Amino acid sequence: MRTAFITGTAGFIGFHLARHFLDHGWRVAGYDGMTSYYDVTLKQKRHAMLAAHPNFTATEAMLEEQADLTAAIGTAQPDIIVHLAAQAGVRYSLENPRAYIDANLIGTFNVLEAARAAGVDHLLMASTSSVYGANRVMPFSERQMTETPLTLYAATKKANEAMAHSYAHLWKIPTTMFRFFTVYGAWGRPDLALYKFIEAAKHGRPIEIYNHGRMSRDFTYVDDLVEAIRLLVDAAPGETPVRGDTLSPVAPYRVVNIGNGVQVPLMSFIEAVEEALGHEMEKTFLPMQMGDVTGTWADTDLLSELTGFRPSTDIKTGIRAFVDWHAEYNGNSKLDPKQAAA
């Protein structure tokens, strides 16, 4: 039985990935700091579900605590490390930039040091589509330059990619960085747009739509995302490139997009939310937010070359699943609040 050490297992993606690995016969050692960036109760419930599995163990500690992280990895003796824990959120990086330095730079440095000491077979780390920054040529290809980050969040993730490459080169650690594109799904974070839309609709508040709706995103359903990660585990960078590869010429290191490969206009996404809810939502149109981008769109050819898999869940299916989960989790009806009160 192989063992995966996963940081951020109480988080949205980490929870789904840990459960997916457990379902596929892995032993999972989780690590999470349970920060208060959003409702800790949601994180505790995710961890409680994982803890019901006999092959799951967890350590609650911060990435910045190097001794705790090193000890946890030493105890787990993992075959691979999947580093997902981070200070997330584009807009929050404008309010609390220090949190991004501590978690994303210092924390990731500690993970790299621990991976070097553990001698793992494969280190897999989360980056973000935000590193594409001011690029306008879409779909975004992993070979594009990423020298124009628009937020500190994006800059720290770009730094993580550079840090990981240097460790892969110096210590020959096979390393895969994945760039996520707008992940959504059940057990999602309350600060994400879909969760906020549903909460606003439930309480009869208007939803806020930035850049007057003239935006688009590549929306990736979380089940597709974790399947892609699991398949990439066995596609560790070696010496033989594949077509369109980003394999480094000096290190066992590559970058891979994980997205749905479809550009969806924001207003079409909102229409799908309204269809799942069964009613129209009141809308407030606002200007563009600082640090935001008008569009994202992933080129997923490299992912397909490496794994034979492309995410494909359409937004109507994914949104409907999220709305059903939200209603069950909160014990609420999906009815229009005005109808529910009638």
Q: Which of 31, 38, 153, 253 is catalytic?
A: 153
3-state secondary structure the chain: CCEEEEECCCCHHHHHHHHHHHHCCCEEEEEECCCCCCCHHHHHHHHHHHHCCCCEEEEECCCCCHHHHHHHHHHHCCCEEEECCCCCCCCHHHHCHHHHHHHHHHHHHHHHHHHHHHCCCEEEEEEEHHHHCCCCCCCECCCCCCCCCCCHHHHHHHHHHHHHHHHHHHHCCCEEEEEECCEECCCCCCCCHHHHHHHHHHCCCCEEEHHHHCCEECCEEHHHHHHHHHHHHCCCCCCCCCCCCCCCCCCCEEEEEECCCCCEEHHHHHHHHHHHHCCCCCEEECCCCCCCCCECCECCHHHHHHHCCCCCCCHHHHHHHHHHHHHHHHCCCCCCHHHHHC
Q: For residues 240 and 238, what is the distance between their CA atoms, to the nearest angstrom?
A: 6
The amino acid at residue 142 is E
The answer to whether residue 153 is catalytic is: yes
Catalytic positions are 153
